[in-house]
């Protein structure tokens, strides 16, 4: 995302209205016809067209006339809608530099009205992987909404915010969940570095074992609370080299210990830690007199307080969780060599509750 303050500041109210109309049209259209944009926006005499041109100029929408005259949101357009909502709520005042890039997300520094610096994570679940989902699985059904990258990214953000808040409320070392809108999660800045950026020169003698122990402790603690991280590696563990305290990040792929593949996923997370600490620090817990014994999944799974109640209270539903898990599974299958593309013509007419309201852009 290239955030242009001047563009953001001077977008007219009706232009925002049109941008939201495109978003709403994409609930059940990959490409939204101009006539539908006009109808949703409620602007008189085809008034949406003038604002569509402005949005197109700033790359907030994409024009496609291969089948009919239609538009869709760009990732930048979706970013602007989420940022606009946070600004209207008074949650943030400005957007700063990008501080993190993942396979399916970007993280930016943002500033509040009080001058506090927070992190804004923008989920970007890709359209390429979405084609694989459609071709490999019965993912879009008459019982679900029209599923596209907006919806999938929004689900990822909702899940991350819900899990982050539930974990934080139960004492886990995670960022503070501040707010969520569309595909964007607002959270506290972590005081530390990704473990992948921390080498032997940054950790004093004996600190490696302490960091490893914390990592395995958290992996076990998650399982005791009924959860498996599923991506517990050096990219999703932050460490403060001075205190050796860790912070766990990135939660959209987490599953319940009741998931049929939970033990396999738990062991995979544990092996990721083994491999990284051996490769980076030549560290083996089995050779450390104070080394941490590996937890055994069936001995610990679900042995503590379940977070199910907290997660249900967040509003993130089991149906949404299942849809996101299906996406993650299909994406992993594609990355492991399966699946080809598919067309993007399937459409569904079922509605889903949406955050967008034409008369109030601040939600």
Residues assigned a catalytic role: 231
Tell me which residue of 189, 237, 199 sits closest to 216, measured CA to CA. Answer: 237
Tell me which residue of 37, 109, 106 sits closest to 68, measured CA to CA. Answer: 37
**Taking the CA atoms of the chain, what radius of gyration do you get in angstroms?**
22
How many Å apart are CA 29 and CA 347, to the nearest integer? 6
Please identify which residue in the block is written with the tokens 């008459």. Answer: 142
Tokens, residue 241: 């080299």
Phi, psi of 172 (to 5 degrees): -75, 150
DSSP string, 126-147: -HHHHHHHHHHS--S-TTSPPP
CB 175 within 8 A of CB 115: no
Burial class (CB in 10 A: 0-12, 13-18, 19+), 322: exposed
């Amino acid at each position: 995302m290239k955030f242009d303050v001047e563009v953001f500041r001077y977008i007219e109210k009706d232009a925002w209205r049109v941008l939201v109309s495109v978003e709403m049209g994409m609930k059940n259209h990959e490409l939204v016809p101009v006539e539908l944009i006009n109808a949703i926006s409620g602007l008189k005499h085809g008034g949406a067209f003038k604002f569509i041109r402005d949005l197109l100029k700033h790359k907030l929408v994409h024009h496609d006339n291969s089948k009919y005259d239609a538009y869709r949101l760009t990732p930048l357009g979706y970013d602007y809608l989420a940022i606009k909502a946070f600004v209207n709520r008074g949650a943030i005042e400005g957007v700063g530099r990008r501080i993190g890039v993942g396979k399916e997300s970007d993280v930016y520094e943002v500033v509040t009205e009080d001058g506090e610096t927070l992190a804004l994570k923008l989920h970007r679940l890709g359209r390429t992987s979405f084609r694989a989902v459609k071709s490999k699985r019965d993912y879009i059904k008459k019982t679900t909404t029209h599923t596209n990258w907006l919806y999938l990214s929004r689900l990822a953000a909702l899940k991350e915010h819900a899990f982050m808040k539930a974990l934080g409320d139960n004492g886990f070392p995670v960022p503070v969940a501040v707010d969520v809108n569309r595909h964007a999660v607002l959270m506290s800045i972590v005081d530390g570095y990704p473990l992948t950026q921390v080498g032997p020169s940054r950790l004093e003698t004996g600190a490696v074992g302490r960091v490893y122990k914390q990592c395995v402790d958290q992996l076990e603690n998650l399982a005791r609370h009924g959860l498996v991280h599923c991506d517990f590696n050096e990219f999703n563990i932050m460490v403060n080299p001075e205190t050796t305290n860790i912070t766990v990040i990135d939660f959209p792929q987490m599953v319940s210990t009741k998931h049929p593949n939970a033990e396999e996923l738990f062991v995979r997370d544990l092996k990721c830690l083994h491999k990284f600490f051996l490769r980076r620090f030549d560290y083996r817990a089995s050779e450390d007199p104070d080394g941490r014994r590996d937890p055994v999944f069936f001995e610990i799974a679900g042995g503590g307080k379940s977070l199910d109640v907290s997660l249900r209270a967040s509003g993130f539903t089991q149906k949404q969780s299942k849809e996101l898990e299906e996406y993650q599974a299909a994406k992993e299958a594609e990355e492991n060599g399966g699946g080809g593309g598919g067309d993007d013509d399937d459409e569904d007419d079922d509605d889903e509750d949406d955050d967008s309201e034409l008369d109030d852009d601040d939600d």
